Amino acid sequence: MRIRRVLLSLIAAFAAVLSVSTVSHANEPEFTLNFGTVAPEGTPWSAQLQEIKERIERESNGRIKVKLFLSGSLGSEIEMIQDVSRGERLQGGGFSTGALGQALDVPVLQMVELPYLFRNDAEADAVLDQVLYQPTSDALAQRGITFYAWSENGWRNMATNGGPASSPEELQAYKMRSQESPLHLNMYAALGVQAVAKPTSEVLPALNTGIITGFDNTLLFSLAAGWAEPITHYTLTRHIYQPAGVVYSKSFIDSLPADLRAIVLANPLEESTRGRASVRAMEGELLEALSGMGKTVVELTSEQQQVYRRTVRSKVHAAFLTDHPEMQGAYSDVKNQLQSMR
Mean pLDDT for all residues in the chain: 92
At residue 295, the pLDDT reads 98
At residue 28, the pLDDT reads 87
Q: Where are the domains of the chain?
A: 29-341
At residue 172, the pLDDT reads 98
CA distance 337 to 124: 10
Q: Is the pLDDT confidence value at 4 over 60?
A: no
Give the model confidence (pLDDT) of 132-185 as tens digits. 999 999 999 999 999 999 999 999 999 999 999 999 999 999 999 999 889 999
At residue 1, the pLDDT reads 39
At residue 158, the pLDDT reads 98
Taking alpha carbons only, the member of 73, 72, 66 closest to residue 92 is 66
At residue 48, the pLDDT reads 94
Give the model confidence (pLDDT) of 69-108 as tens digits. 999 999 999 999 999 999 989 999 999 998 999 899 999 9
At residue 98, the pLDDT reads 86
Q: Is the pLDDT confidence value at 3 over 90?
A: no
Please give, one letter per residue, the 3-state secondary structure of the chain.
CHHHHHHHHHHHHHHHHHHHHHHHHHHCCCEEEEEEECCCCCCHHHHHHHHHHHHHHHHCCCCEEEEEECCCCCCCHHHHHHHHHHCCCCCEEEEEHHHHHHHHCCHHHHHCCCCCCCCCHHHHHHHHHHHHHHHHHHHHHCCCEEEEEEEEEEEEEEEECCCCCCCHHHHCCCCEEECCCHHHHHHHHHCCCCEEECCHHHHHHHHHHCCCCEEEECHHHHHHCCCCCCCCEEEEEEEEEEEEEEEEEHHHHHHCCHHHHHHHCCCHHHHHHHHHHHHHCCHHHHHHHHHHCCCEEEECCHHHHHHHHHHHHHHHHHHHHHHCHHHHHHHHHHHHHHHHHC
CA distance 102 to 183: 9
Q: Is the pLDDT confidence value at 5 over 50?
A: no
What is this structure's pTM?
A: 0.87
Radius of gyration for the alpha carbons in the chain, expressed in angstroms and rounded = 24
CATH number, span 29-341: 3.40.190.170
Report, as an integer, the average pLDDT of 284-305: 97
Give the model confidence (pLDDT) of 125-134 as tens digits. 999 999 999 9
Q: Is the pLDDT confidence value at 18 over 90?
A: no
Q: Confidence class of residue 62 from pLDDT cuts 50, 70 and 90?
A: very high
Which residues, in sequence order, are CB contacts of 263 under 8 Å at separation 6+? 55, 56, 59, 60, 64
Give the model confidence (pLDDT) of 35-57 as tens digits. 999 999 999 999 999 999 999 99
